[in-house]
Structure 1
């Protein structure tokens, strides 16, 4: 074989960091050793995988072509190593989750996974849909759990869980009183309200925009916040009304600190997905996580 796994590690680390020094630090190597490994790797096949741009090493077309295969080969080698060293089928797993899923569902899934695979550590990265997708595409995450819908040729979307958004307000809000009288609110109420919403790029915002098609240009959006809890606190402070996943609001509705507003003319249902890079090697850990998500009912 004309290449080594260490050379693959160096190539992948440099592709990720676009910097030789940071790649060497990650691999606990000297800079000269990492540089030599890359040069030997390229020399063996008479190919250049990076363009040198100042201090950056940027993947060129050839490098982008071979990176997915290198990632897959290294993942298989690591999977094999875990089986030999730990006598376990599943190795370490890097999971990404969007904010609502990460804060309300993913921890329970991690507990089940770790109970079934006690020797397989799991790392959870929580961010919005766009950021999780970028990390899966860049092989920083093995699998993502997202709320939004994506159309990217390199990502496989695996339907996972049905969810629904809920419009909500403070118990003393005028809309709460109107709903008590009428049983629901209508589009004119939505247009008159002040809204506190998630930021663009989040799956929740994507589903909200789809549900309120036709009204978006005329909505009064007072605040856009990145965190679910901040939106709930702002609505509790009577700064406006909000719209979040029902899984994030169960406790607040039960306590009566927030009121669910019924909007029968609007469809707030959505699908949650698992996303995996199409060229990512499906390790035993990834397969086990997918099966766990499919087989366990989810409650916040």
Structure 2
């Protein structure tokens, strides 16, 4: 049964003449008659007695009205809510570690402050898993830090990011280009966008790395590198801004190698973008484009 059929039914309960109701609603009599007939066929019940030009609610019709009218009113209220506030609902979002921890928190907060009827379900995984979640339709929006080309995914470029190599060893050549690094590498786990970009950029040199540990948390990696001068890592500049400024960590550059990557927003190609979805995507794009340069 449709909302239109129910709407005609409850109107006829109060005003049983089809002619008068058609004039009041500015529609044809046949449209009302066909809607009521369709409703009765779906219920396999006759709801009205046809007496002259009137449709008189019968005992089954009265019972149907008693059992359904409150639910009908609730549906009308829900319809009104969505008409008045298009920016209401829950978005499922998953962001990779760098984006989730160092870029998105303020964006989430500010959007929810502007739109209190909105809520987020937020997770943080590595980029490979996020891509899989988007393909399966388990999340609305993915925020990743790795290259991607997939026939079922739409990708929006948000900004470019720079990976840098850092150590806590003050004696190591700093801000000078070197060819090799004889230290213990502390890297992100397999599947991480950070690690994938780093290994790809190194090319054949990656075979010579002494990968000592692989972790899934930047904070864990930073702690180890800060506490152990014989360690080194590749990490987003955003993550270690504070430590660089306070000279707790020092940047090392490799000859003829730079580590660039892009942060992207992705969603399933089959998704229907509603107003809430589109507004939040635009909000993210605007905030990152205007603010990300300040994080570097």
Per the shorter chain, which TM-score range?
0.5 to 0.7
Match of 2:291 in 1: 298
Match of 1:248 in 2: 239
2:275 to 257, 268, 284: 284
Match of 2:158 in 1: 160
Distance 1:204 1:82 in 2: 45
Where 2:200 maps in the other structure, the secondary structure is helix
Q: 1:129-165: CA deviations, max 9, x gaps?
A: 0111122122221001110112221111111111100
Instruction: Tell me how large the CA RMSD over aligned residues is.
Output: 2.2
TM-score (norm 2): 0.67
Number of aligned pairs? 215
Q: 1:282 to 1:251 in 2, by over 3 A?
A: same
Distance 1:88 1:127 in 2: 32
1:262 to 253, 262, 270: 253
Match of 2:223 in 1: 233
Q: 1:185 to 1:277 in 2, by over 3 A?
A: same
Deviation at 1:84, TM superposition (A): 2.7
Distance 1:83 1:160 in 2: 35
Residue 263 of structure 2 is aligned to residue 272 of structure 1: yes
Residue 185 of structure 2 is aligned to residue 185 of structure 1: no
Unmatched runs of 5 consecutive residues or more in structure 2? 3-77
Q: How does 1:57-76 map to 2 (within 5 A)?
A: none
Following superposition, which runs of at least 4 residues in structure 1 exceed 6 angstroms of deviation? none
Unmatched runs of 5 consecutive residues or more in structure 1? 3-80
Deviation at 1:86, TM superposition (A): 7.8
Where 1:96 maps in the other structure, the secondary structure is strand
Deviation at 1:264, TM superposition (A): 5.1
Distance 1:147 1:289 in 2: 19
Higher Cα radius of gyration: 2
